[in-house]
């Protein structure tokens, strides 16, 4: 067993960002996707109740951003350097 002394404020920050990332991801990728068969354009998701709900590129980008933030917060929590890829 490894004993790690975690900063409680950073731990709370990471838990909040991880929960947000999970919620954002579930909004856009947890359900079956549907789109326009003619163009292949993504239009939204089909919920477990069978309802079609719209999703757009901004919502997908929000999920990506929330996940990145949670990962970076986790790195900081563990005292690791956050290295961002070059564009």
Per-residue pLDDT tens over the stretch 10-43: 999 999 999 999 998 888 777 777 888 899 888 8
Interior/surface letters 45-80, b for 16+ CB within 10 angstroms, e for the rest:
beeeeeeeeebeeeebebbeebbebbebbbeebeee
Q: Is the pTM of this model over 0.85?
A: no
Q: Note the pLDDT of residue 1.
A: 62
């Amino acid at each position: 067993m490894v004993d790690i002394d975690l900063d409680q404020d950073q731990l709370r920050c990471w838990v909040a960002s991880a929960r947000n990332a999970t919620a954002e991801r579930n909004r856009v990728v947890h359900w079956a996707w549907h789109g326009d068969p003619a163009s292949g354009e993504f239009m939204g998701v089909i919920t477990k109740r069978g309802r079609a709900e719209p999703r757009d590129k901004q919502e997908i980008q929000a999920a990506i951003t929330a996940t990145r933030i949670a990962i970076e917060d986790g790195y900081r929590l563990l005292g690791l350097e956050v290295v961002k890829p070059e564009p």
